[in-house]
Homo-oligomer: A and B are copies of this chain.
Amino acid sequence: MSKNWNELAERMAELKDLSSVIGLLSWDQETVMPAKAGNSRAEQTATLQAILHERLSSPRLDELLESLAGDASLNAAQKASVRNLTFERNRATKLPVGLVRELAETQSRSVEAWRAARAAKKFSDFAPFVERLLKIRQQQADLWGHSGERYDALLQGYEPGMSTARLEPLFANLRQKLVPLVKAIAHAEKRPDAGFVKKSKWSVDKQWKFSMQLLEAIGFDLEAGRQDKSAHPFSSGANVWDVRLTNRFDEADPFSSVFSALHEGGHGLYEQGFDPALHRTYATGAPSMGLHESQSRLWENLVGRSLPFWRAYAPKLREHFGRELEGVSAEQLHGAVNLVQPSLIRVEADEVTYNLHILLRFELELALIRGDLKPKDLPGAWNERMKSYLGIVPPDDGVGVLQDIHWSWGEFGYFPTYTLGNLYSVCWMEAAEKALPKLWTEVERGNLIPLRDWLRDNVHKNGYIEHAEPLVQRVTGAQLSEEPFLRYLWKKFGPIYGVHAA
């Protein structure tokens, strides 16, 4: 047994090193790689991925995993490694090479087609690609296996342990309760004033410095990570000692880089917080994308868009932008970063409307996978739901059904993780508030470390020993429900907009 475990550990180390290097190549490509190196980078990445796949498909790995699968002498972390690697292996090996290649080729053609269709604002040019991607993904789902609901098989790739049967009622309840709040706010007479933002140009250098201060403030270890610039902010962790964040800076908007720093910083804290003892095993990492997102949303929204945070950090922002912020109070800043407004574009949506964008996508992609909706009927279904959930209709497909890249990659099943992240984030925060009675007093003094430490001990260090939902339940005692999130929204936005739950 112990000999088999040691052999597995060696193989895991190699697999993890390969994955981490593939991640670094991707970081490099998005941040520093010379423009002309794109093709050669694709070659390098494909070579490493082929080697990773070869290693993952090795019959010896299968033997080892089988021999260790029921081994009671393994500890919890070792059992989790066996479970998680078995899952990875099955996902990789159950698909015939031909299907993998077909997906890869269709993906790269679809992305091109999507870009062109979006520019032309014409969904019908893109519809045949959705058709083909759907077919491939449905085949994949059948090969991976499911009990009648193909969407479940896809969902496992992003949110292991979650099911459509759990999501559907949860999201329906959430939608039902969000729509009245959105309406109440839309008709509110009280509205924050963010007019000061447009009056100034906001130096990119100063924004950079403030974003670095924020990363330090949340306790992101800059000796075990870094921040760079890229076209779209993202985070990527090779291991707890090497976590890389990116940000984007806009002269017209000082807040975009603030919230990206907090968002990616939240992901980054998670990556830095895994138990180092799990390094190079399959028990490190996040149990799901939703759980990862719960960490970024917690720092971005629950902390970064709170009044105590701005009481502490308005003066620090003012050190960089004294002239631009003359006469703007912490309360005004807090209002300005909490504008709620039904809008067309998901990535620009506020906390209240954001999840409606997700629920809409979830409903549509579930119907597509089930075969209840034809790709050609997507724009109509999209616009109808926009009208019903948010009260607005996109003037064209470019700012409607074509706005996100996800479907062009065939990523059906990904969107729900965003909303799960929002729901989980409030569970964590409510538990942290109970455990740390002075949490918000400390935040108001600018001290974010007690919260970071609580998250590290209760969330991060667990890695991927349990699945997401059981972990949240064990630590917070909360059942997955829309209630805590709704409670949070009303408590925060009620006073800002002078609205009350019916």
Residues of chain A whose beta carbon lies under 8 Å from any beta carbon of chain B = 13-14, 17-18, 20-21, 24-25, 28, 32-37, 39-41, 43-44, 47-48, 50-51, 221-226, 228, 238-239, 241-243, 279-280
**Other A-B pairs, 4, CB within 8 Å; known A34-B243, A36-B224:** A24-B24, A24-B25, A34-B241, A51-B51
Interface contact A223-B43, CB-CB below 8 Å: no
B13/A47 in contact, CB under 8 A:
yes
B40 touches A239 (CB 8 A): yes
For A47, give its contact among B17, B28, B37, B43 (CB under 8 Å): B17
Closest residue of chain B to A31, judged by CB?
B32
User: Which one of A221, A228, A239 has the greatest number of beta carbons of chain B within 10 Å?
Assistant: A239
A47 CA to B55 CA in the complex, in Å? Answer: 13
**A17's contact among B24, B44, B222, by CB below 8 Å, is which?**
B44
* B36 adjacent to A223 (CB under 8 Å): yes
- Provide the residues of chain B in CB contact with A34, threshold 8 Å: 222-226, 241-243
Inter-chain CA distance A47–B19, complex, in Å, is 11
Q: Which residue of B lies closest to A223 (CB)?
A: B35
Q: Collect the chain B residues with CB atoms within 8 Å of residue A14's CB.
A: 47, 50-51
Partner of A48, one of B17, B223, B225: B17
Residues of B within 8 Å of A39, CB to CB, are 241
Report whether B280 and A36 are in contact in the complex, using a CB–CB cutoff of 8 Å: no
**Complex contacts, A228 vs chain B, CB 8 Å:** 32
Give A86 Cβ to nearest chain B Cβ, in Å. Answer: 22
For A18, give the chain B residue with the smallest CB separation: B47
How far is the CB of A220 from the nearest CB of chain B, in Å?
A: 11
Q: List 24 A-B contacts (CB under 8 A).
A: A14-B50, A14-B51, A17-B47, A17-B48, A21-B21, A21-B25, A24-B24, A32-B32, A32-B226, A32-B228, A33-B242, A34-B243, A35-B224, A36-B223, A36-B241, A36-B242, A37-B238, A37-B239, A37-B241, A37-B242, A40-B279, A41-B242, A43-B280, A44-B238
Once bound together, how far apart are the Cα atoms of A20 and B14, in whole Å? 18
Q: How far is the CA of A36 from the CA of B44 in the complex (A)?
A: 26
In the bound assembly, the distance between CA atoms of A122 and B209 in angstroms comes to 45
CB nearest neighbor in B for A43:
B17
Tell me the complex Cα distance, A39–B243, Å: 14
CA distance A44 to B16 in the complex (A): 9
Please measure, in the bound complex, the distance between the C-alpha atom of A390 and the C-alpha atom of B243, giving whole angstroms.
Answer: 50
The docked-state distance in angstroms from the alpha carbon of A242 to that of B39 is 10
| Known contacts A37-B241, A223-B36, A44 near B20 by CB under 8 Å | yes
Q: How far, in Å, is A92 (CB) from chain B's closest CB? A: 18
The 5 closest A-B pairs by CB, nearest first: A37-B242, A17-B47, A36-B241, A36-B224, A37-B241
**Which residues of B sit under 8 angstroms from A239, Cβ to Cβ?**
37, 40
Q: Which residues of B contact A35 (CB under 8 A)?
A: 223-224
Quote the shortest CB–CB distance from A413 to chain B (angstroms): 31
With a cutoff of 8 Å between Cβ atoms, the chain B residues found around residue A28 in the complex are: 24, 28
